Structure formats: structure tokens, C-alpha cells
Structure 1
Amino acid sequence: MDATETALDSAVRGYLDHLAVERGLAVNTLASYRRDLRRYVDFLRGRGRDSPDKVEEEDVTAFLRSLREGHDGRAALGASSAARTVVAVRGLHRFLHREGMSDGDPAGAVRPPTPPRRLPKAIPLAQVERLLAAASIGEGPRVLRDRALLEVLYGCGARISEAVGLDIDDLDKESGTVLLRGKGGKDRVVPLGSYAWEAVDAYLVRARPALTGRDTLPSRGRRSTGDGAGRATPALFLNARGGRLSRQSAWAVLRTAAGRAGLSTTVTPHTLRHSFATHLLEGGADVRVVQELLGHASVTTTQVYTLVTVDQLREVYVAAHPRARSSTAP
């Protein structure tokens, strides 16, 4: 342990190692935990707590209060952000107690604030089609790549990280499926529709070789470890230098297409994922099937999409049913 590292610092480091190695949390999730716990340790240090055994329930409660009200020049957090931070703190103390590194769990009775329920923002099918058509404007290999990327995002509900992480070997044209590598190392195989396959085929045949500067696809079974120009890479979606397309570049593709399509609403990669789920449920898909397609660990996460669909059904019912509302109602 570093000479300047306190017992609390060491405890946090051990917990983060546990999350990375044994729980397999994604890099971005780990970064969030590290940032939240750093804020917690700084707060405790200001209260003279430098060891897990010195932390009391009042310390955790005061920390939650500081998150909501602001502290030491830091802006107050909304309910969702504060709840995420408290979850990290509760996980830390639960881990320390379970591992025998503290006598009790001072955060066990502290409940995170309940964030307001935010419904997923989906766009109508007509706007999705405008978006996809806008991605096809122009000529050249990047146009074909952009259309294929957006078709895949909407065609199988992939997260942006899953889409740019695809390798050619992850495509199985015979079965019509793709292998998506989800959060925490959880892989899933999902079907891909004919429109997306047509766009991917056009990209592979007419555009990807030009982006690699090669006439042939890379040998199967190898995964890229870099984005440098001229390196043979099995990555499906490539940038202009022949390396794997980054998440930031994929976002730019979507923003450009949304601008060309004249969509007034803000469109993100998750908008296409939300639209994928909502349109499936509107078409009669079972919520548990949608859960598997999205890679949700719990069906509860997926059921929020049913609220969107129910609202839409209610609107249609009120507008169409002759006795849905009184003719004398204001």
C-alpha cells in the first residue's frame, strides 16, 4: 500500500478490483464506480474517516444529503445521479462486510433517492425510414458503411458499443443472426432482418475493401487490437484509415443522418434501440422475447417499453371508440 494511501483508499481499490475481475463489469461502468467512490472517500476524509470501521450510518446519510444539496463547491446531483452514487457506496460496504473487512454495514439501511421514471424515447417508423434514407445520400464507401451501421443499430437493437465491436466472424448469414458482445461480457445471438443484411452485404462487397485498401476481406478468426491504418482487421465497421470505427465516429454518423432527415427530435444511438423495442411490442412481440433481444438481465427493465405502447393504445382507443369519452366532457 502506498504511504499516502489510507485504509479506506485500499478498501475501495480492493472493491473495484473485485468488480473488474470477478463481476466482469464493463470499462465505462467501472469508471463511473471509481468516480463516485472517489467523491465518497473525499467526503469521508473531510469528516475524519480514513478507515471502513470508522464509517457510521450518519456518515452515509450525510453523504447522500450532500449529493442532493451540493458540497465543497460541487453542484447538486439529480435523483438519478445521486441514486447511482449511493448504489456504488452500498455495494462497497456490503462487500467489505462480507469479506470481513468491517464489523458492520453502515450503508445497509440507507436507501437511494427514487429517480423519476423516464420513458424511453422512440421515434415513429416513418422517421426511422427517413433517417435510414438520409444515410444513403451521396456516393462512396462511407455512405454504404453509414447505411449498414444504422440498419444494424435499428435492425437488432444493438447498443452503439456492440455495433462498432462487431467482427465479420460475428455475422452468420446462413442463420440470419449476429453475435453481439454485451455489457459485462454477456454475449447474445440475435436475428437481423433482410433490409439490414442487404445493407451489410452491399457494404462488405462494395465499400469495406476500399476502406481497408485491400481487395479481400481479412482472414477469419482474428480480432483487431488497434485502429492503425494498413493493419488487417476483422472489424466489421471501419473508419477512413482502415481501423475499427469508434463510438464517437458512429455517433457522428447518426447525427449527420438525423440532420439530413430533418428530424426535430434529438436522435441518439439509444433512440434506435428504444425504437427497435417499442416497434416490436407494438407489432405483438412478447416482452420476454424483447428482453432477450435487448440483452436485459431482468424483464423489469424491458417492461418500461410496455408503458409507451399502452399510452399509444390509450390514445387510439380514446380517439376511435364511440363510448371512450362523454360527448359532454370539457
Structure 2
Amino acid sequence: MRRGRITRVSEPDPQLTRRATAYLDHLAVERGMSANTLSAYRRDISRYLGWLAQQGVQAPDQATRQHVTGFLQALGTGEDGGHPLAPRSAARVLAAVRGMHRFWALEGLTEADPAQDVTPPRTATRLPKALPVGQITALLESVPTDTPAGLRDRALLEFLYATGARISEAVGLDVDDVLGAVRTGEAEQEATVTGEEGPAVVRLFGKGSKERMVPLGSYGAAAVEAWLVRGRPALAGQGTGSPALFLNQRGGRLSRQSAWTILKKAAERAGIQADVSPHTLRHSFATHLLEGGADVRVVQELLGHASVTTTQVYTLVTADTLREVYAAAHPRALS
């Protein structure tokens, strides 16, 4: 496991840098934090260390509650030398800072936790943006499947909507993570993705490398199977045998940036005016499940949320939809 390193904003004391690096190592090794999340924490901690350096703090036990609250205020104004942050972004940075101070207190580096009672700024609830089912269908069907790349693009987008996977989870998949192959001893016999016992099941690895199993569904399974049988071998021949499920034109693993581009082009072909990102398909997956009657805790498991509170934001979306339908359809809804 690579050790976390601090990208310095100014010149914090080496003792602070070492203690912060120990915290990042703890997140990577003991907490199993994903590389993307760890990178964000590293940037946030680096900004905080720069602030402490400005305030003359040279050791963990010198940091006080006033330093933490002052930093939180500086995040909104840019007084610390960084870009001013919106309340939601400032709350994210504060979460990293609070976690580090809690770690220092537990490790005995400080007698108390100066950030314990510092609360994040209030943020307005930002509802996730989901596309209507009709636009999702148009988006998926806009992808031509007469080339290996087209088969891959269709399979990728069908996969994202069918499973609600994060884009990093999808491009990080290997072929073996799509269950449905029949294994007999040392030999492996190719089978259809859908298998004989129902829909395929995909193994996804979420934040903190937490594993979950998600059904793929018939449309997603058919698209992935077409890609594996008719598309992937052609691109795999351009590389050196990558195990990745989704390949680029050189036979290597498809990147998140390339996956984003695939989605953007599909949205343009479908004539969708709304801003569409890979997370839009994840939002649509959750919203459509709840609108179809799925239990919120089932959706929580499918999304890989650690807390049902995170998932419940989607219930606000469906409630808004119900109100709109009621207002438009009921003869006495409006005065």
C-alpha cells in the first residue's frame, strides 16, 4: 500500500506533516479507503496544514478549537490562500479535519479533540437529478452496435443504468466479476452472462473496497453478453491480455474520462438537453426503483450506501414527482 503524502500549500512543521501522513496511512491501510477518496482527503488535509502553518502551529497538541473554527471560516472566504468553497464543499473538508483530530486524540498525540464540537455549515438539500424513463431509453438506444466500440459503449451504459454502479466501480470491473460462467475443476467453460438460473449477478466493489452483489437484469445482461462475445475479443487483441471488463481501443482498461465521453456523446445523439453525467444514471436507477415500489433499504444495499439516510434523499425526489402528478391530474388539486 502506497503511503499517503501531503501536497503542501505552505510549509507546515515536519512534525505536523508526519502526523498527518500517519492519519492518511491509517485511512488507506486500516480503513480501506478507496484511492479516489484518499486523494480528496489528502488535498483537504494539506489545505488545513497550510492554515495551521499560517497560525504558527507546530505540533498537534498546539491546535485549538479556535484554529479549527477559523479554518472553517477561511474556507468560505479564501482567507487561507485557497479557493473559496461553497458550504457543501467546506463541510467535506471539515469532515477530513475532524477525522484527523479524532485520530490524533485516540493516538494520544493530543489530550483533547479540538474539532469535536465544531459543526459543519448548514447546506441546502440538493436533490439528485434523474432522467425520465423515456429519456433513459432514448439514451441507451442511441448507441450504434455495429462496431466493437459501439458494442462496448452500449454495454457500459446499459450496465450503469441496470446496476446503479459508480463509474469508478464499472471501469474497475474484471470479466470474472460478472458471474455466469460455469467452472468445472481447472477448466472454465464459457456460458451466457444470463446463465440458466435467472439474471446475472455482478460483484461490485464500492467505497472502502466494500463488496456487494447486484443483479444485472435482462437488458444489461444481453448488452454485456453481446460485448463479450462479439466486441471484446477484437479490442482485446490490441492489448496484452487485460482482465478488464470494459476495454479501450488499445486493449487496456477503459478510463473514467473515456466513459464520461461515451455518455456525453450518447446524450447528444439522443437530443437530451439536460446536463448528463455517469452519476445521472445512478440517480435514475435509484429514483426509478423507488417510483416502482422498491423498499428504500433494498435500494440502499444496491447502491452500496453505508447509511439509509444517504439513500432517503431519493424519496424526496419521488415525493416531488407524486405532488406534481397529483397537481396536474386531480380536478380539485388547485384552487
Correspondences of 1:1-330 after superposition (within 5 Å) = 6-136=14-144, 139-173=146-180, 174=195, 175=198, 176-213=200-237, 229-326=238-335
C-alpha displacement of 1:201: 1.3
Counterpart of 2:233 in structure 1: which amino acid? P
C-alpha displacement of 1:276: 0.5
Local SS of the residue matching 2:152 = helix
C-alpha displacement of 1:139: 2.8
C-alpha displacement of 1:73: 4.1
Local SS of the residue matching 1:207 = helix
Structure 1: gaps (5+ residues): 214-228
Local SS of the residue matching 1:111 = coil
Runs (4+) off by over 4 Å: none
For 1:281-320, what per-residue CA distance to the aligned partner results, in whole angstroms no more than 9, with x for missing partners?
1111111111111011111100000000000101111222
Would you say how many aligned residue pairs link Structure 1 and Structure 2?
307
C-alpha displacement of 1:5: 5.1
289-298 or 161-170: bigger deviation? 161-170
Structure 2: gaps (5+ residues): 1-11, 181-194
C-alpha displacement of 1:140: 1.2
Counterpart of 1:178 in structure 2: which amino acid? V
Counterpart of 1:268 in structure 2: which amino acid? S
Local SS of the residue matching 1:184 = helix
Q: Find the aligned partners of 1:322 and 1:81 in 2 and give their Cα distance.
A: 44
For 1:96-151, what per-residue CA distance to the aligned partner results, in whole angstroms no more than 9, with x for missing partners?
11111111111111111122211000000110111111112x63110011000000
Local SS of the residue matching 1:104 = coil
* TM-score, structure 1 normalization: 0.90
For 1:150-174, what per-residue CA distance to the aligned partner results, in whole angstroms no more than 9, with x for missing partners?
0000011111111111111111233
For 1:196-244, what per-residue CA distance to the aligned partner results, in whole angstroms no more than 9, with x for missing partners?
111111111111111112xxxxxxxxxxxxxxx5311221111111111
Local SS of the residue matching 2:312 = helix
C-alpha displacement of 1:59: 1.0
C-alpha displacement of 1:72: 4.7
